[in-house]
Amino acid sequence: QKEVEQDPGPLSVPEGAIVSLNCTYSNSAFQYFMWYRQYSRKGPELLMYTYSSGNKEDGRFTAQVDKSSKYISLFIRDSQPSDSATYLCAAGYPGANNLFFGTGTRLTVIP
């Protein structure tokens, strides 16, 4: 079993829709949670960073972490065609030398 599980999709939504992307994890030691966005033929770029449980909002993006259920979510409001990319969730814990990534969800926003 992977440490971080993510539905690979693909997911297609119309422009303007609310998108919900989700991951689950198994290691209760995880304290840091990230969402990366990866465009085709590019490296991942950090989108959201959350420490421990709670919500974090940045513009149209909201990240949620529920440590009791080991669930990580990313919501995208008013989705745009430019949001079409692969979204990767990741988690880490203090002292670890690497992040643990989900497999990524490929999102397409249709104009």
Partner 1 sequence: GAGVSQSPSNKVTEKGKDVELRCDPISGHTALYWYRQSLGQGLEFLIYFQGNSAPDKSGLPSDRFSAERTGGSVSTLTIQRTQQEDSAVYLCASSLFSLASDTQYFGPGTRLTVL
Q: Which residues bind partner 1 (CB under 8 A)?
A: 2, 4, 6, 8, 32, 36, 41-46, 49, 88, 90, 92, 94, 96-104
Residue 107 Cβ, how far from partner 1 at the closest point, in Å? 15
- Three-class DSSP category at 71: strand
Helices vs strands, H then E, count in the chain: 0, 11
Considering the complex, state which of residue 63 and residue 90 has its C-beta at the smaller distance from partner 1: 90
Considering the complex, state which of residue 42 and residue 77 has its C-beta at the smaller distance from partner 1: 42
Give Cα separations from 43 to 20, 38, 39, 88, 104 (angstroms): 22, 6, 7, 11, 13
Hey, which residues does 24 pair with through a beta bridge? 5, 71
Considering the complex, state which of residue 41 and residue 111 has its C-beta at the smaller distance from partner 1: 41
Residue 17 Cβ, how far from partner 1 at the closest point, in Å? 25
Residue 96 Cβ, how far from partner 1 at the closest point, in Å? 7
Hey, which residues does 62 pair with through a beta bridge? 57, 75
Residue 12 Cβ, how far from partner 1 at the closest point, in Å? 18
Cα-flanking dihedrals φ and ψ of residue 22, to 5°?
-135, 150
